[in-house]
Homo-oligomer: A and B are copies of this chain.
Amino acid sequence: MTADANTGRQPGLQIEPEVRIETGRIDIAAEIASMGGGGAIGGLVTFSGYCRDEGGRLSALELEHYPGMAEREIAGIAWQALERWPLLACRAVHRTGRILPGEEIVFVGCAAEHRHAAFEAASFLMDFLKTRAPFWKREHLKDGSTGGWVEHKDTDDLAADKWHRL
């Protein structure tokens, strides 16, 4: 098989990313169970992002998003991952709304024949999801008050930037 000169995609694979934005819990176990195995897959790398309790200070995170654009941005990043690595499956699920400490915020899974493609693609997806997908987090505190909006981290921009140099 030779890769398409424009997209880098392998002909015949016809893998499409699966992108979902949901208000309910993400069943990480079910996501993984439905991605692994299948004969051609050698490795599956998953990232699950959780709401931290920030040392007990936090009662919940509130996730706001830009409907329509959020799905489109994540799908765009996932298509880039599919063009860059020979993936056999690629999935991203992001929650919105109120999320309690210990609950999951985001799930990303990338499967490939060999492990390095799966590791790199999953890491790439998270780095760009952080910097390009229109989601915003606000803290709700244990004392009942509404805390501030979570500040954007410059280290996230740097992490995404490094992929342009690789």
Contacts and interface: CB of A to CB of B under 8 A. Distances in A.
A77 interface: no
B44 A48 contact: yes
Given A28-B32, A29-B29, A53-B40, A47 B102 contact: no
A38 B30 CA distance: 19
Interface string A66-97: 00000000000000000000000000000000
Q: Is the interface of A mostly helix, strand, loop or mixed?
A: mixed
A88 to B, nearest CB: 10
Interface centre among A33, A37, A48 (most CB of B within 10 A): A48
A79 to B, nearest CB: 21
Place the interface of chain A in its size category: 35 or more
Contacts of A48: 32, 36, 43-44, 46
A133 interface: no
A104 interface: yes
Interface of A: 28-30, 32-33, 36-50, 52-53, 56, 101-104, 113, 115-116, 118-119, 122-123, 126, 159
